[in-house]
C-alpha cells in the first residue's frame, strides 16, 4: 500500500489541521484514517518542508476561556496578531514589576 501518491493531498490536510491545533486522533477521525497513517502524513509533510507547527495565535486562543479569547481578538490591531497583543501585555507587566521591585542596596 502506498501512503502518498502524486495526487494524494492527505498529508497537506493533516498538516493544516495540526497547525490549526487539532489532535492527531481528531485528524484521523476526520480523514477516516488511523493515527499511524496521520503520523506518516505529518512526517511526509515535514520532510517536504510543509510546516506542521501550530501558529501562536491558535495555541493562545485554545488555552484561554472563550470570553478571554473574544477579548484578546478585540485587542488585536489591524495587521497584528494575538501573539503581538500577548507580547505587549508581557512587556508591560515586566516593566511594571521591575518598577515595583525593591532595588538592591548599594554599598
Query: For residue range 1-54, what is the model confidence (pLDDT) as tens digits?
Result: 445 555 468 999 999 999 888 899 999 999 999 999 999 999 999 999 998 887
60 and 84 belong to one structural domain: yes
As given in the structure block, the three cell numbers for residue 45 are 509533510
**Do 37 and 71 lie in a common domain?**
no
Total number of domains in the chain: 2
The predicted structure's pLDDT at residue 107: 60
Q: CA quadruple 37, 40, 46, 52: dihedral positive or negative?
A: positive
Higher per-residue confidence, 93 vs 54:
93
Give the domain extent around 16: 10-47
State the pTM of this model: 0.56
Kindly state whether residues 64 and 37 are assigned to the same domain. no
Amino acid at each position: 500500500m502506498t501512503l502518498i501518491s502524486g495526487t494524494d493531498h492527505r498529508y497537506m490536510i493533516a498538516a493544516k489541521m495540526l497547525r490549526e491545533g487539532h489532535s492527531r486522533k481528531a485528524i484521523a477521525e476526520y480523514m477516516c484514517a488511523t493515527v499511524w497513517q496521520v503520523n506518516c502524513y505529518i512526517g511526509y509533510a515535514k520532510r517536504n518542508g510543509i510546516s506542521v507547527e501550530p501558529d501562536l495565535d491558535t495555541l493562545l486562543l485554545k488555552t484561554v476561556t472563550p470570553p478571554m479569547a473574544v477579548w484578546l481578538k478585540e485587542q488585536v490591531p489591524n495587521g497584528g496578531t494575538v501573539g503581538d497583543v500577548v507580547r505587549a501585555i508581557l512587556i508591560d507587566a515586566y516593566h511594571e514589576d521591575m518598577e515595583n521591585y525593591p532595588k538592591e542596596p548599594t554599598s
